[in-house]
Structure 1
Amino acid sequence: MEIFNNLWRLVEIGGPVMVPIFLISGWLWALIMFKSNWLWRINRDRISLPEALACLKTRTICDSATPRGLAINQYLSATRGGCGTSLAVNKLLLDSAIRKQTGTVQQYIPTIIILAAVAPLLGLFGTVSGMVETFRTIGLYGMGNAQAMASGIREAMITTQAGLLVAIPGIFIGHVLRKRANTIQHDLLVFQRGITQWLEKGDEV
């Protein structure tokens, strides 16, 4: 309860713009937690190339909910009953399955980076709002009412700090996740080349 009271106190000091900053922060960290956990799990549970080839040879579904396993399962589903399918068609089906999985690897990462970039802009909006309030107070009471002036300045500083506190770690983690996703995408392409070489040797499924 004390946490909520402190958050409400920050909203009172920083003004209405603190609400969207808090909402963006919650959304941002929910996506970061989800994506980090997903990337960790697919790296831990991924199937090896020999395991994938064994599934292809026996035409059995891979028991792995990772991009590699899902790509193999999609390929098997697409070639079901098509033992006479040409090598070119098989390679196209494999490429389609791999491309679908490479797309899911980057999912949510652009959203994370965009949310992190939006937070300081909202903070800047709060800064402008606070300074406008400060100048309005000066226009009404002159320079003699320091307490009223401090309220506007405090609003400007709080919103700026809140926006930066959300943005800096969000952008850093977003780029770390993107780098990890790029590594997994490269790994998928290497995996695809291994399957393609197996197909070219005449072991078409």
Structure 2
Amino acid sequence: MNQALETALDFILAGGPVMFPLMAVSIWLWTLIILKLSWVLRIKRDNTDINTARFCLSSGEKPPTNGGPRGRALKHFLTLRTGDQKADLLLWEVSIKRQMPTMWRYLTSIIILSVIAPLLGLLGTVSGMIQTFDVIRIFGTGNAQAMASGISEALITTQTGLLVAIPGLLAGHALRRQIKKNQMQLVSFQQAVTRWLKSKEAYKCYA
């Protein structure tokens, strides 16, 4: 274990000072990916459908919510429902729109951090090559160890930047596809409940 840590530390130090912000970006990126992935997996258990919505709207009972956008929207609507059709339709639209920011939270940051990582790697490449050229300018080509240090910095930062960016971008696009799918399901749910709210059946309990 200690040897593995020492090897990792040597690798980071060989990449030069740019490796520290690269590591920070990597940790931040994967923290956000894990948080978003856990949210996506959690809302898959949201079994609130139109039949559940009709039952809750007719009986006034709160839906069994597990953090999913459909269940949360329905719960928010039932809490504030007025019994006036026009007001309720507007309230239902607001209840749905309140779920959108949560659905897309972290995704923009994931994509931005994935783009930043290779740019930091490129910065490390430039820094390493400048160091190499400085060595050549001062010592000529006779100081192989100093030249190797600069070349190592250039290659390691490039490699690390790509290793952080490529999986991050793939994860970000996969999460984006899943969120778009969830958004379409939420919109379909909204439309189904809206049609039911416009029916006479929806307000029998207020008659």
* Equivalent residues of 2:125, 2:157 under 8 A apart: yes
Distance 1:128 1:110 in 2: 28
* Equivalent residues of 1:123, 1:162 under 8 A apart: yes
Distance 1:30 1:165 in 2: 16
CA RMSD of aligned residues (A): 1.3
Hey, what does 2:86 align to over in structure 1? 88
Matched, 1:165 2:173: no
Structural mapping, 1:139-158, within 5 Å:
139-158=137-156
Q: Deviations over 1:132-166 (max 9, x none)?
A: 10011011101111221111011000000000000
* Equivalent residues of 1:120, 1:164 under 8 A apart: yes
How far off is 1:123 after superposition?
A: 0.4
* Equivalent residues of 2:45, 2:68 under 8 A apart: no
Amino acid at match of 2:163: L
* Equivalent residues of 1:47, 1:68 under 8 A apart: yes
How far off is 1:3 after superposition?
A: 3.5
Amino acid at match of 1:142: G
Q: Deviations over 1:59-99 (max 9, x none)?
A: 122121210010001111222xx22x2x2221111111111
Hey, what does 1:129 align to over in structure 2? 127
Amino acid at match of 2:178: R
Hey, what does 1:45 align to over in structure 2? 46
How far off is 1:5 after superposition?
A: 1.8
Amino acid at match of 1:46: N
How far off is 1:44 after superposition?
A: 2.2
For 2:76, which of 74, 77, 81 is the aligned residue?
A: 74
Amino acid at match of 2:141: M
Matched, 1:62 2:60: no
Q: What stretches of structure 1 move > 2 A for 4+ residues in a row?
A: 1-4
Q: Deviations over 1:14-47 (max 9, x none)?
A: 0111111111111111111121121111112331
**How many residues end up aligned between the 2 structures?**
201
Amino acid at match of 1:157: L
Q: Structure 1-normalised TM-score?
A: 0.94
Distance 1:102 1:50 in 2: 23
Q: Secondary structure at the match of 1:46?
A: coil
Q: Structure 2-normalised TM-score?
A: 0.93
Distance 2:109 2:5 in 1: 27
Amino acid at match of 2:68: T
Q: Secondary structure at the match of 2:17?
A: coil
Hey, what does 1:19 align to over in structure 2? 20
Amino acid at match of 1:59: G
Identity of aligned pairs, percent?
43
How far off is 1:10 after superposition?
A: 1.5
| Mean CA deviation greater in 27-36 or 66-75 | 27-36
Query: Which structure 1 segments of 5+ residues have no match?
Result: none
Distance 1:23 1:88 in 2: 51
* Equivalent residues of 1:10, 1:18 under 8 A apart: no
Distance 2:106 2:53 in 1: 27
Distance 1:67 1:2 in 2: 46
| Mean CA deviation greater in 185-194 or 18-27 | 18-27
Distance 1:7 1:17 in 2: 15
Distance 1:2 1:76 in 2: 58
| Mean CA deviation greater in 55-64 or 92-101 | 55-64
